[in-house]
Amino acid sequence: MERILRILEKEENLTTEQIAEKLGASRVRVRAGLLRLLEEGKVEGVQEGEKWMWRIKKEREEEKMLDKLSKKIRS
């Protein structure tokens, strides 16, 4: 699932098929990972027609930036 997150950090609004292609994995396996990440609140999906577009949940990006900033301040 971390590999899925890394891909979505670089490019947002990707379909399940696009993510599977980039990972060299099956769509079924990627879809299962995406659904788990969705349950954990790490990604969000938007249905466009028959396809789902996936991206990192915006709040997660902001939290990540704040974590990096606080680590810099502590060092």
pLDDT in tens, 14-26: 999 999 999 999 9
Q: How far apart are the C-alpha atoms of 25 and 16, rounded to whole Å?
A: 10
pTM score, whole prediction: 0.75
Q: What is the pLDDT of residue 69?
A: 82
pLDDT in tens, 22-71: 999 999 999 999 999 999 999 999 999 999 999 998 775 677 778 788 88
> Which CATH number is 17's domain given?
1.10.10.10
Q: For residue 21, what are the domain limits?
A: 2-74
pLDDT over 70, % of the chain? 97
Give the chain's domain count.
Answer: 1
Q: What is the pLDDT of residue 61?
A: 64
**Three-class SS string for 2-55?**
HHHHHHHHHCCCEEHHHHHHHHCCCHHHHHHHHHHHHHCCCEEEEEECCEEEEE
